[in-house]
Chains A and B, each alone.
Chain A
Amino acid sequence: MKFKLSRLTARGGRPSSPGPAGATIVISILVALSPAPGLAQQEIIISKDFDPNGWPKPIPVSISGFSGEVDNVLKTDLLFMGIVNVSPESAKYLISGSNAGRVEGRVVERINKNQLLGKAYTGGSARSQTHALADDIAVALTHKPGIAQTKIAFKGETGRGNGEIYIADYDGHNGQAVTHDQTIVSAPCWSGHSTLYYASYKLGAPRIFSHHLTTGARKMITPFPGSNISPAVSPDGSRVAMILSKGGSPDLYVSDRDGGNLRQLTSTKEAESSPCWSPDGQSICYVSRERGPPSLFVISASGGGPRRILTNGAPNPTEPDWSPDGKWIAFTSLMGGFQTCIVKAQGGDAIVIAPGEDPSWAPNSRALIFSRGPDHSKKLSLLDVPTKQVKDIARILESNSQSQPSWAK
């Protein structure tokens, strides 16, 4: 057996030698398929650190020294940031520490013992200290901001279709209601980290509200007849995409953050629904029934003609969410049941990830939160997209059905 290394290219750096995130080594090898000389040779490109869809492969670590809740929280946090716990001999990094009194942690490269992180955490709960450690580990190993201290918002049903908007840690803990409307509420969406937009039927018909979480002040931004639903705040927080039916059909509109400067982007007779923004704030992806069954479309936020986004293999796409890195659109496909899927932002062959609906991307463009289960008993679950691993988050006790998650970016 002969192996001939024709080229060895190292691009970027490794975690031990700081460089851009997503550094990789591409090895191009000429392999002799047969001992007999002169036969065809095949060039094979192996991407060592990335899977075929371009996500970094999980980084193998071995975690030791923690106990109980801290151990569980740390492993879960790291899983959804692409860091997976394996046996010490398979690990690339060793994570050791303790949680006697306070959470302490240390990250060492297994082979050369180079220490990448050593920190202790005080104050708050053991859980919040662990989240802080997990985020520090993520920065050290992936060079990307962590997600362990991020927040989610969602709708919690409280009976007979009524519900309230809740916020919680991304893992479902420390949940609290932000509305007490005792009516239908829907489609919470973050603007920054202190304001939520959502629709509430509190005034009879569905209206869109902006709700400042620290002051409790909220403002109805759309006073129009008919549906005022599905708010989506632009990444810079300056504009809101929404569905209004005041013109005689549910159409896509965009306005300033306070509802001013309203502009109609579609004027089909069929229903549009569930808009979301591209991360650069230039485009809006939404669903239209213009051609019969639902399809995804992208339109410029400043108006113009829509462009259809194909989702081959995943029919009836609804509830799109554009990944913060701009590469993917996650959505729900209805094929018998709901399937959470992703497709490249320009459209093409869709990838079915897991049964469930209404996905929302994590800030790291790797994890999703989505809901699954039958109506009126839905639960929220986290999903590591590249490995398709799923984990339910903690439930809100007063609500037996949680849905429509929105991950604060």
Chain B
Amino acid sequence: MNRLSPNTKIMKFKTFIKLSALAVVLCSSIVGCRKGLERTTPLQGRGVGAVSTPDIGGPILPGKTGDDTIKPVNNDTAKVDETVKPTPFPTPPAGDPNKVVPLNGALSTWGAAADQPFKSDTVYFDYDKATLKQGEVSKVERVAGGIKGLAGKALRIEGHCDERGTEEYNRSLGERRAMAVRESLMRAGVDPSLIDTISYGEDRPADPGHNEAAWSKNRRGEFIVIEPPGASTSK
């Protein structure tokens, strides 16, 4: 309150000064206004077809004059350069199941198999957590046992989130969840070079609702059996 009072005084003082100045200027302002109009600086148009742009204006897209000269983005001609090849998979370190193990790039091209026996083994996570709940471990162990009987196949773990985080945060959290499941599979004896991961963040909810009932179904890790390209068609 001590500060408020002097401030108010100053404001009044400043207002007084301003008003005094205003009074002085006001007399000449009517004349000045007309005068101002008469001595308008020559307008700086730049000729037909060009918007006059400032020398230090905001950045503009390629093209000489900004807004209207953006070339159409022709996505039909967009080329995806895939010349960069995945790095070879390093030998998984033996022993320590808690060690972070690199992903096997060779699995990236593998697609979902026709048969998906682990649909009912989806594991669920607590809000904003990426650790596997104790109650979910039995599902992982069942999957670990099952995948060992599927020769030539591998697993892709899909990590998902509910909608309550921001998008990129959830994309990372979903990947971390998938990796927690992968590590649990490793502890159950599955070769890590046979486990791929993908995160869909919050983009593929199992339940589109906006309540805890839906969210609890969406914080999940799904087990997808994958196989090399062409494996299904050769059946």
Contacts and interface: CB of A to CB of B under 8 A. Distances in A.
Interface string B63-88: 00111101111111111111011110
A119 B44 contact: yes
B84 A223 contact: yes
B119 interface: no
A354 interface: no
Nearest to A148: B58
Nearest to A258: B84
B47 A122 contact: yes
B210 interface: yes
B103 A145 contact: no
Interface in A117-175: 118-125, 127-129, 131-132, 135-136, 139, 145-151, 155, 161-162, 167, 169, 174
Contact of B203 (A106, A184, A294): A184
Interface in A329-381: 332, 334, 338, 357-358, 363, 374-376
Interface in B22-79: 22, 25, 29, 32-33, 35-36, 39-54, 56-62, 65-68, 70-79
B167 A243 contact: no
Contacts of B62: 193-194, 213-214
Contacts of A213: 61-62, 70-71, 73
Contacts of A1: 9
A194 B199 CA distance: 29
Contact of B172 (A118, A271, A408): A271
Contact of A102 (B45, B82, B100): B45
Interface residues of A, number: 113
A330 B51 CA distance: 34
Residue of B48, B68, B111 with highest tally of chain A CB at under 10 A: B68
Contacts of A217: 77-79
A246 B102 contact: yes
B172 A243 contact: yes
A309 interface: no
Contacts of B164: 334
B47 A271 contact: no
Residue of B103, B128, B130, B205 with highest tally of chain A CB at under 10 A: B103
B104 interface: yes
Contact of B6 (A44, A150, A218): A44
B80 A220 contact: yes
A384 interface: no
A376 B204 CA distance: 12
A169 B58 CA distance: 11
Nearest to A199: B171
B29 A113 contact: yes
A118 B40 CA distance: 7
Contacts of A136: 54, 57
Given A115-B40, A118-B40, A123 B166 contact: no
B3 interface: yes
B200 to A, nearest CB: 7
A226 B70 CA distance: 35
Residue of A108, A135, A227 with highest tally of chain B CB at under 10 A: A227
Nearest to B18: A111
Contact of B41 (A115, A174, A227): A115
A42 interface: yes
A112 B44 contact: no
A294 to B, nearest CB: 6
A223 B164 CA distance: 29
B105 interface: yes
Contacts of B173: 271, 273, 289
B86 A224 contact: yes
Nearest to B77: A216
Residue of B61, B79, B172, B200 with highest tally of chain A CB at under 10 A: B172
Interface in A365-409: 374-376, 403-404, 408-409
B173 to A, nearest CB: 5
Interface stretch (A55-63, A247-255, A277-285, A298-306): A247-255
Contact of A403 (B45, B78, B86, B167): B167
Interface of B: 2-3, 5-7, 9-10, 13, 21-22, 25, 29, 32-33, 35-36, 39-54, 56-62, 65-68, 70-82, 84-87, 100-105, 107-109, 111, 128, 130, 163-169, 171-173, 175-176, 179, 196-205, 208, 210
5 contacts: A106-B41, A178-B73, A225-B103, A226-B103, A245-B103
Sorted nearest first, the 9 A-B pairs with minimum C-beta distance are: A161-B203, A248-B100, A273-B172, A225-B103, A271-B176, A120-B43, A118-B41, A128-B67, A124-B51
Given A224-B86, A375-B210, 8 more contacts: A122-B52, A125-B68, A176-B73, A202-B80, A218-B81, A226-B197, A227-B172, A274-B166
